[in-house]
A and B are shown apart, each in its own frame.
Chain A
Amino acid sequence: MDAETDSPRIGFIGAGNMAFGIAKGILSGNIRPENVKVSAPSLRNLGRFQELNITTTHSNTEVVCGSDIIFLAVKPHVVPLVLHEISPHVTHGHMIVSVAAGVTVATLEELLPLGSVVIRLMPNLPCVVLEGALLFARGTCATQDHGAMLRSLLHRCGLVEEGPEAWIDIHTGLSGSGVAFVYLFAEALAEGAVKMGMPSALAHSIASQTVLGAGRLLRESDKHPAQLRSEVCTPGGTTIYGLHALEQGGLRASTMGAVESATERARELGRVSAATRNGK
């Protein structure tokens, strides 16, 4: 802990987009940059952390020894290597938070000393604009207090929820991949407008604002999306005509299928990475 403020010292192993997004969120709370460290093998991604006055290093060990809460934000296949490297320095006082897709709590706990506090976190891309959706699952030795600590650290990153590990793959399908589904929808909205005669740049700009605006209204409302939808549909008006076309195109079914497909793939990848590790 930082002796002065009694706030935890935060470390990041890996300096990619996810790490950066989470770091930004953490800093907008009451963690000071002096209490954050990040390591990466090359200088490539460290620049933007330095701009936030975060200490950067090439040494994973340095991050572990100088932090209380460590975010493991490396690519899944690198995780075993990193854990092997840092394991000798991990104590019961550390909290290891892994954001590596498909790497299970069981895998993490196996590669770390017995009794290590492990949490598996699945963020999503909009963390970088502090509008993320984050779901975490606690490992065997992570208590509710650990969960509460993580929650309070991350709450500026967006929506933070806890669940059983089984929900992480679903969260990946829904909200990890879901971001891309929304991009696809926004693109299609714009193309529809272009078809009807609007210039592309303007159409895209309006499409993205429409998605954003609708998203905000949805989040800020207590109402079911179906309710909001019905409220927008004037009898015989433009919206109900458009919605009918969407229903005819089977948008609901294909969206359900998309979440299902992405979730199944996340589950499969989880199995594959576990099998690969066992094979070693």
Chain B
Amino acid sequence: MSVGFIGAGQVAHALVRGFTAAGVIASHKITASSPDTDLPTVQGLRKLGVHFTTSNKETVNKSDVLFLAVKPHIIPFVLDEIGPDIEDRHLIVSCAAGVTINSIEKKLLQYRANPKVMRCMTNTPVVVREGATVYATGTHAEVEDGKLLKQLMASVGFCTEVEEDLIDAVTGLSGSGPAYAFTAADALADGGVKMGLPRRLAERVGAQAMLGAARMLLDSEEHPAMFKDKVCTPGGATIHAMHVLESGGFRSLLINAVEASCSRAKELQKLKS
């Protein structure tokens, strides 16, 4: 089985890094294409042993599973370009935020009777095989296609199938989520530095605290609030800090952020139709 990426930017690079680290596919079985050869990610892809080309057509011809990893507004142009070269064997997987399966199928139906399309929303931590991916299945994709995609994406983190109408919410939560986490880690480190820690140490223990907490949550069925309670000694340091967080509206800010990202994803989708 060979895999191709139309687009050689962040998403392609992250997925390739993850797949090759997982050993789920050999890098020489991967092709990536982009008109722009100056992208730093292009270098990265080449170093990983991926076959890079400026020809999208070549990528299509060399692949069975084809990831569309370009910016959402580029998708229609790419589809027009590669439409004629799509064969029965091809599984098209779009990673573009806000681009519906329906819009992709409509384009491809101009060239082919039963295009197999899937849509996924993943996130950058696929790079370290801790991604969060959801996918939705298009009209003509088979059960085996879903299994294949799941196998690929599960090698780089958590992966599950969803109804397409949930994808925008996932975008808001785990698509954008790493950015929220990076920002939190940065600010926590600042807090550490303010209280006297060297920056490097502050970043290290702050990020580790987040990682550790996430691991505890993922390994258990318990509600996060129960974990929080166990950390908060009566009258202790942590509960004082929690009150500060609550006073600042920490929870509602996070809810607002997820909502804003999700709404924007929906909006972007409307702009395109």
Q: Do A and B bind each other?
A: yes
- The chain A residue sitting closest to B243, CB to CB, is A256
Count, chain A residues at interface, CB 8 A: 14
Main secondary structure of the interface of B (DSSP, over half): helix
| A253, B225: Cβ atoms closer than 8 Å | no
Is A226 engaged at the interface, CB distance under 8 Å to the other chain?
Answer: yes
A226 surroundings in chain B (CB, below 8 A): 223-226
Roughly how many angstroms separate A227 CA and B243 CA in the complex, as a whole number?
20
Nearest-CB distance from B53 to chain A (Å)?
43
Nearest-CB distance from B242 to chain A (Å)?
8
Roughly how many angstroms separate A247 CA and B243 CA in the complex, as a whole number?
13
B248 surroundings in chain A (CB, below 8 A): 253
| A250, B249: Cβ atoms closer than 8 Å | yes
CB-contact partner of A247 in B225, B229, B251, under 8 A: B251
| B246, A256: Cβ atoms closer than 8 Å | yes
- The chain A residue sitting closest to B223, CB to CB, is A227
Roughly how many angstroms separate A253 CA and B225 CA in the complex, as a whole number?
15
A244 surroundings in chain B (CB, below 8 A): 252, 255
Roughly how many angstroms separate A244 CA and B61 CA in the complex, as a whole number?
50
Is A221 engaged at the interface, CB distance under 8 Å to the other chain?
Answer: no
Is A224 engaged at the interface, CB distance under 8 Å to the other chain?
Answer: yes
Roughly how many angstroms separate A225 CA and B256 CA in the complex, as a whole number?
23
CB-contact partner of A227 in B225, B249, B255, B256, under 8 A: B225
Interface string of A208-233 (1 = CB under 8 A from B): 00000000000000001111001000
- The chain B residue sitting closest to A252, CB to CB, is B246
- The chain B residue sitting closest to A225, CB to CB, is B225
Q: A253-B243, A253-B247 are in contact. Are A248 and B252 (CB under 8 A)?
A: yes
A225 surroundings in chain B (CB, below 8 A): 225
Roughly how many angstroms separate A259 CA and B228 CA in the complex, as a whole number?
19
Interface string of A121-143 (1 = CB under 8 A from B): 00000000000000000000000
A-B contact sample (16 more), CB < 8 A, given A247-B251, A248-B249: A224-B229, A226-B225, A227-B225, A247-B255, A248-B255, A248-B256, A250-B246, A250-B252, A252-B251, A253-B243, A253-B247, A253-B248, A256-B243, A256-B246, A257-B243, A257-B247
